[in-house]
Amino acid sequence: MFELLDVTGTLVFAISGALTAIYKKLDLFGVYCIAFVTALGGGTVRDVMIGRTPVGWMLDIDYIYIITVGFLLSIVFNRYLERLRISMLLFDTIGLGVFTLIGLEKGIEFGLSPVVCVILGTLTATFGGVIRDILCNEIPVLFRKEIYATLCIAGGILFFFLQQLQLSDDVISPIVAIFIIAFRLIAFKYNWSLPIGSVFAKKE
């Protein structure tokens, strides 16, 4: 299950990054670079923070192959995607749910507390997107009013709550992933968001 999640998350985030770069009209090298950092950025930062070095993708060349497949799929099929922004949202959302679980599992593997595991899950799921958006000259989704990292935190809390019910991880993982994916798509459809910072600013 963990390996399947890892492959799925890497692939969909690579596609998400590549589609963003295509939308921004970057050249092929730029598209590949954005796919790479989107897929591996969060996991790289996580591994450095927990002292897991060399980081995962340096020890397993399969990650490069997976990213390359995502890059090629994006190049070949992007013209058939009628609504590129919706496709970007969908792949980014799937990656968000999957990579949250991967970060949680890595924290548990290293014997870290549930709170730290939730932070690692959120970091793994969101930081690649932060790097992607910065490189593409966008304000990262993480820092906008859109519900994003909040769902990763909620998914992490749900994960440990379900563990207390003695459910197996093979049952918990799809429940948490579906929870994050479904609620982000619902939030997007109905324009749910967190209050913006200016709401709390003093009015002169």
Q: Which residues contact 176 (CB under 8 A, 6 or more apart)?
A: 97, 100, 101, 155, 156, 158, 159, 162
Residue type, 52: R
**Per-residue pLDDT, 37:** 97
63: left (phi over 0), alpha (psi -120 to 50) or beta: alpha
* Positions of the chain with pLDDT under 50: 82
CA 85 to centroid of chain Cα atoms: 16
**Per-residue pLDDT, 169:** 84
Give the separation between CA 110 and CA 76, rounded to whole angstroms: 40
Do residues 45 and 127 make contact, with C-beta atoms less than 8 angstroms apart? yes
**Per-residue pLDDT, 198:** 54
* 49-104 tens-digit pLDDT: 999 989 999 999 999 999 999 999 999 887 775 465 677 778 888 889 999 999 99
Dihedral of CA 17/22/26/29: which sign? positive
Residue type, 51: G
**Per-residue pLDDT, 84:** 59
Domain residue ranges of the chain, discontinuous segments joined by +: 2-193
pTM, 2 dp: 0.86
**Per-residue pLDDT, 89:** 79
173: left (phi over 0), alpha (psi -120 to 50) or beta: alpha
Nearest to 44 by CA among 91, 2, 103, 86: 103
Nearest to 126 by CA among 45, 26, 22, 71: 45
